[in-house]
């Protein structure tokens, strides 16, 4: 089992405290039958339990990627609490499907890339610390956002702080390439991850599903519909200087001829 490096300071502090308490118990700093002795013993057990919990919280198991190359894997580990349509998301550049995953303090808190692609957007926004399962948390809470562009469209991943979470870590920068399942960040102590997918992608996850970060397939990438691709192609071939295309010029000429 591997552990996230961000957890080392907390684990070391817990182990040191536990070691000091157990050393006090061992050398009988206080009479074990007295209340100071009993308090020291309780503290030793509490610090030991805290150190173990910290190591468990910061565990970073390697993902087992889905065999389907088009599969979109869960960017966070926990329970899907919401799947809904969104009219427009700027980074996705159009309508999207939003999938929200709630991470309890007992879940893995490392985040991994749901798809392979280039990071085209990165943003950090301070905010409130509402309970992560609250719908308003998606908009009001402290959060980090990462946009990843693929050939089939761009996805947006939001790392959202919760009631206890007070630290969001997002490692990649704009221009970096990510592989599906690659670690990109971490949220400390209870949180939420929102994933926004292009609306034409197929969603396979459902509310209530338990998902494993970087491993569980929750959607599938689908090529851009032909009509939308054609519109984008036409927009992309429009003259950059604002001059008329050949067809527009012909239409204008015909109109002038009729007016005569």
Contacts of 206 (CB under 8 A, 6+ apart): 80, 83
Q: Is 104 a catalytic residue?
A: no
**Which position has the token pair 């805290």?**
50
- Residue pair 58/77 in contact (Cβ under 8 Å)? The answer is no
DSSP state of 249: H
**Which position has the token pair 């990649």?**
172
The catalytic position among 100, 104, 191, 215 is: 191
Question: What is the rounded CA–CA span in Å between residue 181 and residue 214?
Answer: 4
Dihedral sign, Cα of residue 86, residue 113, residue 203, residue 100: negative
Question: What is the rounded CA–CA span in Å between residue 100 and residue 194?
Answer: 4
Question: What is the rounded CA–CA span in Å between residue 40 and residue 47?
Answer: 10
Give whole-number Cα distances, 105 to 2, 60, 100, 163, 192, in Å: 18, 14, 16, 11, 11
* Sequence-ordered alpha helix ranges (H) in 166-240: 226-236
Q: Report phi then psi at 124, rounded to 5.
A: -120, 135
Is residue 136 exposed (0-12), middle (13-18) or buried (19+ Cβ within 10 Å)? Answer: exposed
Question: What is the rounded CA–CA span in Å between residue 237 and residue 107?
Answer: 48
Give the catalytic positions in this structure: 191
């Amino acid at each position: 089992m591997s552990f996230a490096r961000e957890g080392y300071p907390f684990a070391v502090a817990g182990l040191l405290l536990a070691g000091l308490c157990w050393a006090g118990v061992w050398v009988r700093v206080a009479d074990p039958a007295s209340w100071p002795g009993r308090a020291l013993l309780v503290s030793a057990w509490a610090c030991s339990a805290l150190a173990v919990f910290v190591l468990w919280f910061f565990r970073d198991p390697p993902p087992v990627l889905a065999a389907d190359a088009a599969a979109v894997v869960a960017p966070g580990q926990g329970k899907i609490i919401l799947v809904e349509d969104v009219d427009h998301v700027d980074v996705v550049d159009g309508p999207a499907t939003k999938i929200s995953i709630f991470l309890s303090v007992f879940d893995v808190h490392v985040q991994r890339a749901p798809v392979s692609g280039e990071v085209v957007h990165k943003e950090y926004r301070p905010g409130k610390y509402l309970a992560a399962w609250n719908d308003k948390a998606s908009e009001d809470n402290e959060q980090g956002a990462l946009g990843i562009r693929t050939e089939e469209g761009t996805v947006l991943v939001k790392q959202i702080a919760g009631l206890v979470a007070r630290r969001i870590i997002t490692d990649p920068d704009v221009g970096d390439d990510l592989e599906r399942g690659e670690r990109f960040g971490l949220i400390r102590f209870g949180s939420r991850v929102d994933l926004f997918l292009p609306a034409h992608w197929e969603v396979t996850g459902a509310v209530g599903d338990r998902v494993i970060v970087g491993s569980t397939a929750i959607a599938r990438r689908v090529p851009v519909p032909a009509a939308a691709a054609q519109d984008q192609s036409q927009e992309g071939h429009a003259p950059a200087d604002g001059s008329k295309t050949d067809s527009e010029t012909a239409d204008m000429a015909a109109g002038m001829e009729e007016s005569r």
